[in-house]
Homo-oligomer: A and B are copies of this chain.
């Protein structure tokens, strides 16, 4: 789980992450606060909505506000801002004031449909909202030392604990949209109260057991369980007990949050069978169901997964929240086991499919993050009108994604390091200054780097006093020729590298200086042969950054552009606007001349009709920030 202490001890100013975090706190957080207010989400906690009035508080509004609180708290931990803090305190006051006498706290089910409290866990997001408010409460406490919301949410959690559980008098339910599992583990972590971990374990274990609670609940509502609109309990990962699951199915955000909770519970309770299920699910998603951007869930129909190797480009759904969820899950697995594959996936999501969800000016958001778009068609590949362009939006009726990407960006410093006994692991590279607690003493760690644009990382390690520590430096799997030097001496890393980390056990003293070189040639990436959407295509990647072609740089008809079999790439830095200082990939390719076509759509192939052309690829996460037009990630190439 997130260790909020890192927000105060790891400082990222400037550089790639620094810029994103600055836009996040200066632009995105105030905008989201304004949107939550204007849409009524915040005022709703006053509980003054009355039947018959317009704009009834929606079942998931609480969660949007909760994620904003969480994001604001993370940001304030390192970057004090009196105005933002005042907003935060005011919102927390409103939320706290909405708690009922019995501890219950949910706007919709207090003022709109009180008779439906706990009647439809499958669809109505009640426990999901509770979970997000718990995360917000823990963030306020751990990041800012503000205890009010924590107390409110402990009261709510305790009430929930009376309602749900294995006892005869309790409902044997669990959420249709997972979230409370991981949140209860955070609550346990923040309070030390074992009972919250027990509740998390209960919710994890109850899921998918027979009789299926969602059926029991539907019958109690007088409904036919078979008339379930989603048709399958795979939608909520409730088709099987979680320990028996091996395939990631259904709604992708729900899936990721569940797996986070499973991993937390498994790690904290030493539950091997549960961790085995996590590992099986991980293998399935990583080996068969993840887009190259870390995007998950290709179709809108279930906002989720389909089948192995089905990774469409145009029309792919790939909700921002799902990539956020993948990052959070990867981080949890990485805490349980120092395996570079988890950090590679965390990095893949962080540099590509998550941050594509917010515009560079911080003002607009993507819900879906397709890997190709064509004018006239929406993000799901459906024709809208000839002059339509899929662009980021200012807000959504279902606004889960904007505050989710905001809270992810605000907590980026927490992902750089982790410590375990005398081991200090460096997972991600970013210009930063940190003071970490390792084996009982403070260790100052300074990273100097222009990562991810440049692969040279200088790390200075300064423990308060000389000490034997094990430093584990991640070697990203995308890098094939990493070199390392310590105080100017080359280190033979191979013998001391395991699971993607160079492990340097030695006595460290103030000012020890490591230089890690991670060469970043432009790589042509191919997808598994079973991915039918990427046959005959490659994606360009440099370091952890996946690239794309946009029409604004390359003209239209991007799918007619074919890379040569042995291309030469030039990496040139952009000079203006959002591309300033950004490495662009340039090279030559070929395409046909549409002007050379007579009438008609089809003709016998004219093999030498292709003309040489140049192309410019930009990082995928930067797409849709300039003139709209076509975009593709997977590019045809000569084989």
User: Which A positions have Cβ atoms within 8 angstroms of B?
Assistant: 283, 286-288, 290, 292, 299, 301, 306-307, 309-311, 314, 374, 376-377, 382-383, 386, 480, 523-539, 556-562, 565-566, 590-594, 597, 599-607, 610, 630, 636-639
Contact = CB atoms under 8 A, between A and B. Distances in A.
20 contacts: A283-B599, A286-B600, A301-B383, A306-B376, A306-B377, A307-B383, A310-B377, A374-B532, A523-B605, A525-B605, A526-B604, A529-B597, A532-B560, A532-B630, A535-B560, A538-B605, A562-B639, A590-B639, A605-B637, A607-B639
B383 A310 contact: yes
Contacts of A533: 559
B597 A528 contact: yes
Given A538-B605, A639-B590, A639-B607, A599 B307 contact: no
A184 B14 CA distance: 75
A530 B594 contact: yes
A533 B533 CA distance: 10
Nearest to A562: B639
B532 A287 contact: no
Contacts of A524: 604-605
A309 B376 CA distance: 11
B532 A601 contact: no
A566 B607 CA distance: 9
A262 B281 CA distance: 59
A539 B560 CA distance: 15
A572 to B, nearest CB: 22
Contacts of A530: 556-557, 560, 594
A560 B600 contact: no
A287 B601 contact: yes
A571 to B, nearest CB: 16
A290 B599 CA distance: 13
Shortest Cβ-Cβ A-B pairs, 8 listed: A535-B559, A536-B636, A306-B383, A532-B559, A524-B605, A529-B560, A529-B592, A535-B560
Contact of A299 (B306, B382, B557): B382
B386 A307 contact: yes
A638 B639 contact: yes
Nearest to A558: B532
Contacts of A528: 594, 597, 600-602
Given A286-B600, A310-B377, 12 more contacts: A286-B601, A290-B601, A299-B382, A310-B376, A374-B532, A525-B605, A526-B602, A526-B605, A527-B602, A528-B594, A529-B560, A610-B639
Nearest to A386: B307
A601 B531 contact: yes
Nearest to A557: B529
Q: Which of A535, A539, A590, A639 has the most CB of B within 10 A?
A: A639
Contacts of A610: 639
Contacts of A311: 601
A160 to B, nearest CB: 35
Nearest to A632: B532
A535 B636 contact: yes
A524 B606 CA distance: 9
A288 B536 CA distance: 25
A14 to B, nearest CB: 31
Contacts of A531: 601
Nearest to A604: B523
Nearest to A374: B532
A425 to B, nearest CB: 22
B536 A536 contact: yes
B301 A382 contact: yes
Contacts of A309: 601
B606 A526 contact: yes
Contacts of A557: 529-530, 532, 535
Given A310-B383, A536-B562, A603 B526 contact: yes
Given A525-B603, A597-B529, A559 B536 contact: yes
A377 B376 CA distance: 24
A610 B637 CA distance: 14
A637 B637 CA distance: 10
B307 A529 contact: no
B307 A376 contact: yes
A525 B607 CA distance: 11
A639 B639 CA distance: 9
Contacts of A532: 314, 374, 557-560, 630
Nearest to A344: B600
Contacts of A534: 559
A607 B565 contact: yes
A288 B527 contact: no
Contacts of A636: 535-536
